[in-house]
Structure 1
Amino acid sequence: MVNEPTHAPLLSIVVPVYGVEAYLYQCLESIRADIPAGESDAVELIAVDDASPDGCGAMLRAYAGRDGVRVVHLSSNVGLGLARNAGLDVATGRYVWFVDSDDWLPPGSIAAVLDRLRQHQPDVLMLDHLRVHEDGRREVDASSHLLRGVPGVVRLADQPHLLRVQHTAWNKVVRRAFLDELELRFFPGWYEDIPFSHPLLIGAEKISVLDRVCYLYRQGRQGAITSTRSGRHFDAFGQYERLMDWVARKHPDERLQAELFELMISHYLVVVGNDDRLHPHLRRAFFHRVAEHYRRYLPAGGYPAPAGVTGLKHRLVGRGDWLAYSALRQAHRVAGRLRRPGPTASPDGGAGTDEDPNRAHPTTTRDAEPTATTDRSDALAGGRLP
């Protein structure tokens, strides 16, 4: 049962919930406490119980009916993307913001978001965030600098670097009618943000950037993708196929396709290179799927090649040379261990330059790949790959 609001708010905040009993209270209270005085009518909070197996369902039943809080209980687990869709189905706000239930908002975030929405009335409002580790350490994201100095309301063509900001749903507040215009929904499976986040920026006529930390992104939670070896990492291929199909139909621009192609291959290389993602017996098959996508989607005019070791890996993928890639990966990791006196594992569970902050539980994912360049090697110069 869903409690219906008496009027349409400006902002709907959708929180999908699964297996986060230890974090749910912090998340929901950070939202409720942050709604400014006199703005309760402007914000609705929709929590979606994705058949959570722990105490989350009971916690949400206690919240149901409170001012501004609506709760949807799903009868079976559907995963993060489809749970977001369920929240979107009942959202009545002009804008929607997807907040994940193990993260939380710093004070003043909602007031800043509401102010910017009223001021610019954008299709998409982009937000900054911090990564918060289990020991309390807060870390700036590698792509946050791309949000600096963006004036007023822009289009992606004016600020193409915005495509390299974290491609997640939670760092964007989206006009609901714009979502309907693009016919965008979340697909099932892991890496669900790929065919959702990029089209938002590509299709938007009005993008606003709020250069303010409005989201705290929890790191190191048990069940992270970076520590989950699974064949479900192959879901990334289907998600990118959906993205590339959408771009080919809606925005067949060679420069855009080249940019997305580079991001896609770099993302795949993060996954295939991470010991905590793929069991060794799956790595070769994953690499050959990457090579297949390389051949299928390679732009006719080439694409901007990354520098350093990442660029070399791109070339090996282009040749489908698994043996050379495997040897390079091993040599690069040995060299990294020799350079670093401490353990090679990162705080987020990755290893070496293959780390990223993805996380998941067995039925839903938190997809947040690093899209800024993280490979600092100076072995090779950049260029355009044929």
Structure 2
Amino acid sequence: MTPRLSIIIPVYNCADYLDQCLDSITDPGGAGPGEDVEVVVVDDGSTDATDRIVRARALADPRIRHLRQDNQGVCAARNAGMAAARGRRLMFVDADDALAPGWWDTVRPHLEGEWDIVCFLAGAQREHYEPDELVRATIGGSGAPSLAWLAPPWAKLYRADLLAARGARFAPDIMYGEDALFNLELYAAGARCRFVAASVYRYRLRPGSTTRSYDERFVDSNERYLRALEKLLTDCGRYPRPVVTELVDTSFVRSVALAAVRIAGLARRRDRRAAVALTSRNAAFARRLARVRRAPGASRLERFVYALTRRAGPGPATALARLALHLRPRRRTAGWAVI
């Protein structure tokens, strides 16, 4: 029997959370999805108890399929899951997250129909948004809070045949923004998207999470993301050149502010100094910093941090971000963000 839905879970060393994730999918409130759903767990070379847990769960529940590969990153794991999935619709769930109680009752009515993507978003105010609205909101050039969470693949139903026809894949060489590019390609191509004002996904919030490392790969990856974004927006034929430039510049300005926050989260002062130095001497970063002067789609705070970085370099911007992190109340207990 062909499942109506394949849920793809990429896993790397998430043994502490995996059972909870799988339980939320296979037994939602006691009214489980039965054979309509298969769960494709892709173990991306975990070194903890993940392999043992998935093997045991797959033996006990034939809906769970276990794939294992050498460590290649979350993009490769998701791509492997898509290649193996048999369902007519696809969902993505991260191994440390969960689906909300009663998710099946919410999702089931939307498994059929002509929609290419069904987005479950509690803040959605309309059933349909224009492609340009989705593109701008995903990049960050939209002030619509009702369109948050458009970039990640979570809480969405995708038509499997659409993804196959477009050759949609997550880019393994991009560390941040790969999920945004995946969805942007579909939005910009005019995929038929339906929005359902309901929550089906729970994103895990961890207490005291602090950035432990930062190196030039992050800056290089962001440059690859910006180039891929520019190509995507150009090739889709939807935007004239000035608009493409505006959207890419907006994304760069936002990334500079995010980099300041990431560096500020490093615990050791010497690591922060090293990260600032790495960023400052990155040639691609310096070229964009010299060229980009305005990005109307970015927030005021992002534009302020960017202007400070242009004027004085990443160091003062990082110091400002670190001050903000110290002033912000710290989360002391784990919890969930309901999407």
TM-score above 0.5, yes or no: yes
Q: Which runs of 4+ in 1 moved over 4 A?
A: 35-39, 158-162, 331-334
Contact 1:305 1:311 in 2 (8 A): no
Deviations 1:60-89 (A, max 9, x none): 111224231111122x11111101111111
Give me the whole-angstrom Cα distance separating, in 2, the residues matched to 1:228 and 1:90: 34
Superposed displacement of residue 263, structure 1:
3.2
Match of 2:302 among 307, 310, 324: 310
Does 2:153 match 1:172?
no
Structure 1 gaps of 5+ residues are 1-6, 129-143, 338-342, 350-367, 369-386
Gap change, CA 1:272 and 1:45, over 3 Å in 2: same
Range that drifts further, 252-261 or 10-19: 252-261
Contact 2:24 2:100 in 1 (8 A): yes
Gap change, CA 1:183 and 1:311, over 3 Å in 2: same
Contact 1:194 1:239 in 2 (8 A): no
Structure 2 gaps of 5+ residues are 141-147
Does 2:125 match 1:149?
yes
Give me the whole-angstrom Cα distance separating, in 2, the residues matched to 1:59 and 1:37: 23
TM-score of the superposed pair, with normalisation by structure 2:
0.78
Counterpart position of 1:123: 116
| The structure with more helix, counted as a fraction of residues | 2
Gap change, CA 1:295 and 1:170, over 3 Å in 2: farther
Contact 1:123 1:204 in 2 (8 A): no
Superposed displacement of residue 16, structure 1:
0.9
Counterpart position of 1:344: 327
Counterpart position of 1:49: 43
Counterpart position of 1:227: 211
Superposed displacement of residue 13, structure 1:
0.2
Counterpart position of 1:282: 275
Deviations 1:121-169 (A, max 9, x none): 32112223xxxxxxxxxxxxxxx6xx43113x44323666643433112
Give me the whole-angstrom Cα distance separating, in 2, the residues matched to 1:208 and 1:174: 11
Give me the whole-angstrom Cα distance separating, in 2, the residues matched to 1:179 and 1:56: 28
Give me the whole-angstrom Cα distance separating, in 2, the residues matched to 1:173 and 1:197: 12
Give me the whole-angstrom Cα distance separating, in 1, the residues matched to 2:64 and 2:109: 21
TM-score of the superposed pair, with normalisation by structure 1:
0.70
Instruction: Write out aligned runs for 1:105-124 (5 A).
Output: 105-118=99-112, 120-124=113-117
Does 2:83 match 1:95?
no
Instruction: Write out aligned runs for 1:141-220 (5 A).
Output: 147-151=123-127, 153-157=128-132, 162-163=137-138, 164=140, 165-166=148-149, 167-189=151-173, 190-191=175-176, 192-220=178-206
Give me the whole-angstrom Cα distance separating, in 2, the residues matched to 1:321 and 1:95: 49
Does 2:321 match 1:321?
no
Gap change, CA 1:77 and 1:160, over 3 Å in 2: closer
Contact 1:268 1:290 in 2 (8 A): no
Give me the whole-angstrom Cα distance separating, in 2, the residues matched to 1:327 and 1:156: 38
Residues paired across the two proteins, number? 310
Please give the root-mean-square deviation of Cα atoms over the aligned residues, in Å.
3.2
Contact 1:8 1:93 in 2 (8 A): yes
Read off the aligned partner of 2:195 and give its amino acid letter.
Answer: V
Give me the whole-angstrom Cα distance separating, in 1, the residues matched to 2:228 and 2:57: 37
Q: Secondary structure of the equivalent of 1:96?
A: strand
